Chains A and B, each alone.
Chain A
């Protein structure tokens, strides 16, 4: 193995006998120059463009809403009116006067339960449907119709069924987010390469081993696509559901603020919802990249 290497080395040297070698003495590696500056430059490249855009948008908004007779509050007005909500998410000033952080946490709890059910049941149903051609043929059209139904449309039905707002809200989240999980899991299971199935057959894996060792890892990228769509949908659904069912969540807060004409509070709540939704999406995406590491590469 190492024989050819030994041979070629001298011949390379012989090939260039008198070449002048310019030696540039490298400047002493400066930690500030080599590490800190590039890192700062990268950070600036990532942070500056959105920052500029936000300032620009706020300025336009400010100009538009500063005119007399403007129907919506301007950013400065929101800042002064909803100062406590913006600055401290976790204050408690009374039973119904609490920071938006608390409200978001209550909403997240509902989402966690509803989405958790959706994930478990969705993956299980999707696995069964992906396995069986007849289940796919029978159920897929039904799912395709059901998944287009708006979260709010489910609410009266679930209120009638559960006769309580808390399980109804959770059910609405479940029913909204379960479809993409089922459908994506089923597609992932159907797309398991025949090669992997053959490996499993040669090894005589039993159904349980096949499920854990071949199916789930192989379908993981699809499953996580479904889970990611699902978390987005359930966060959409929670706000709508809470607006109608009441309680403590962020959705009810918006409805309450609208009824008492606190438009500034609503804008702040919208920002909260957007940011939390973004964070939820990122969390699922990060989990997906960790779990499916290496699965896509073949």
Chain B
């Protein structure tokens, strides 16, 4: 743990609106190792997306900081590529152009034009979207859009891949399919991943560690759970696996017994 790849240190975030001050996150400390897949789970409104956005640099923390590979990061950059919940593809560009926009920007001057073209195609191939490379986002399904979003993020060769509820807007079958794809890609490339989710099964299936957040306001990290399951994982085999069920149980208990979602009165 001494050579933590990504360190989140003492993050606190308050939103001010006039004289009213709301503490969203308090005392968040987390370290992520290289190649680790960490999920952050919590009820909606607990500030987990805010935390991800702080790591991405899209929001500034009120106090505390993020250190990636011994360097403090406080502005967005391609080393922390984000897969947005609503895919955020540019609708006027084709699938290929959406990815190549990122490739051309990040690798301008590093790779030749032909290399950038190949790299774009390679990443589309990785998410099995080469067949739709000339289509526009409006012409493909939600799951496909998210695949392209993942390809765009992967194409930046980020140090950390940030997934903001990437499968939230998808139907259950598409979601499972995409989870398998992400697992396979993680297996193959060994990315460091930080994923926001509210799906217990998804968290247990994909992660090495699950970070459970308490309810806001002033949400903290309530508990961190190691998932001691060997990779590659198979969702069918895991369905009856004791370790899997135990992890699932722990997360469920945390979310629904100790930190039940309290509706705002």
Q: Which residues of A contact B (CB under 8 A)?
A: 193, 195-196, 198-199, 201-205, 209, 213-214, 217-218, 220, 292-298
Contact = CB atoms under 8 A, between A and B. Distances in A.
Interface stretch (B82-90, B202-210, B227-235): B82-90
Given A195-B84, A202-B77, A202-B80, A298 B91 contact: yes
A293 B136 CA distance: 10
Interface in B222-263: none
B136 A294 contact: yes
Interface in B24-60: 56-58
Contacts of A198: 58, 76, 82, 84, 88
Contacts of B22: none
Interface stretch (B3-11, B61-69, B99-107, B114-122): B99-107
B92 A217 contact: yes
Contacts of A292: 92
B90 A217 contact: yes
B193 interface: no
Nearest to A214: B90
Interface string B127-147: 000000000111100000000
Contacts of B80: 202
A188 to B, nearest CB: 13
B139 to A, nearest CB: 8
Most B CB contacts (10 A, CB to CB) among A195, A220, A292 go to A195
Contact of A220 (B77, B92, B105): B92
B54 to A, nearest CB: 13
A201 B58 contact: yes
B47 to A, nearest CB: 18
5 contacts: A195-B86, A199-B84, A201-B76, A204-B76, A217-B90
Given A209-B105, A294-B137, 4 more contacts: A202-B80, A217-B92, A293-B92, A297-B91
A203 B88 contact: no
Nearest to B84: A195
A207 to B, nearest CB: 14
A196 B105 contact: no
B81 interface: yes
A235 B139 CA distance: 38
A256 B137 CA distance: 56
A295 B91 CA distance: 5
Given A198-B82, A297-B136, A205 B88 contact: no
Contact of B138 (A193, A199, A297): A297
B81 A202 contact: yes
A298 B137 contact: yes
Contacts of B139: 297
Given A213-B101, A298-B138, A202 B82 contact: yes
